[in-house]
Amino acid sequence: MLGLNRQQFDRYLTGQVRPSQHNLQRIATGFGVDIDELVDPARAIGPPTRLKEASGRDRMTSLIDRAFPGDLKRLRTMLGYYHSHFLIPSDPDEVARSMVYLYEQEGRVCSKTIERTGPHEAVQEILKYEGMATFLGNCIFLLEFETLSADTIVESILYPSYRKSLDILTGLTFGMTSQVYRQPFAAPIAWKYLGRTVDVKEQMAACGSYKRNDVRIDPRIRKYLNAAGLSGTLSLGPM
């Protein structure tokens, strides 16, 4: 396998002769290690670097597989489009409405979210997120990465709906403000279910920022956000 005769290899093992650099490379390649790992003192030798890296990757993959998608059967009942509403940290009198799409792909539930400022803003800002959802411990967890600026991860935790027809999901979202002086924030959040298939252009046109008391926001969502925002706490159960 190594292209070395046994006597020559035995002399290397006993320390009688040091292999040439060429032979060291052949031995390292044959055993799947680096040259440095062959010549390190015995006390410093641990699992081969390549094996440790592979083991670390395998462990992370295993953790992700355990965490996502959780109870896939429950999540499948919640696939589709939503309008997400949360209080804007920089202006508590404003509510941001964005578009969320949950869909299944290769046994996992993935998400796409588009958030933009309202039509009355002089300069509109577009934020796009992609992520994965899981159902664990009777809650929905959504972890998303902002793909345009690539500088933010957002997590949302929502209560599932126990109604016969999917309607409103409530919970909490954690993220970073998009201002120059970025700060972490937490805000109450409410999702309004739109359906499995929708007119995406029409629903996106309804996204933006609204006053907290705007009648275009579902009255139950207005009530929930107002109560949560004023008290600083969230409801103890799903809506």
At 5-62, the pLDDT tens digits run: 777 777 777 777 787 877 777 777 766 677 777 666 654 555 555 555 666 677 788 8
Contact 24, 40 (CB under 8 A): no
Q: Where are the domains of the chain?
A: 6-67, 72-231
Number of Cβ within a 10 Å radius of residue 132: 19
Sequence letter at residue 64:
I
Q: What's the pLDDT score for residue 27? A: 76
Whole-number Å distance between alpha carbons of 103 and 147 = 18
The answer to pTM > 0.75 is no
Q: What percent of the chain has pLDDT over 90?
A: 46
Whole-number Å distance between alpha carbons of 182 and 176 = 6
How open is the CA angle 221-82-65, to the nearest 5 degrees? 115
Sequence letter at residue 164:
K
> Please, which residues have CB within 8 angstroms of residue 231's CB and are 6 or more apart in sequence?
none
The least confident of 45-49, 89-93, 124-128 is 45-49
Average pLDDT, integer, range 201-221: 94
Q: What's the pLDDT score for residue 49? A: 59
Q: What's the pLDDT score for residue 43? A: 46
Question: Of 2.30.30, 2.40.128, 4.10.780, 1.20.1070, which CATH number belongs to 72-231?
Answer: 2.40.128
- Which H, E and C letters describe the chain, residue by residue? CCCCCHHHHHHHHHCCCCCCHHHHHHHHHHHCCCHHHHHCCHHHCCCCHHHHHHHHHHHHHHHHHHHCCECHHHHHCCCEEEEEEEEECCEEEEEEEEEEEEEEECCEEEEEEEEECCCCCCCCCEEEEEEEEEEECCEEEEEEEECCCCCCEEEEEECCCCCCCCCEEEEEEEEECCCCCCCEEEEEEEEEEEECCCCHHHHHHCCEEEECCCCCCCHHHHHHHHHHHHHCCCCCCCC
Q: What's the pLDDT score for residue 116? A: 83
Confidence of residue 223 (pLDDT cuts 50, 70, 90): very high
List own/partner pairs for 232-236 with CB under 8 A and 24 or more apart: 234/170, 234/171, 234/172, 234/188, 235/170
- Looking at the predicted structure, is the pLDDT value of residue 111 above 80? yes
Whole-number Å distance between alpha carbons of 86 and 172 = 9
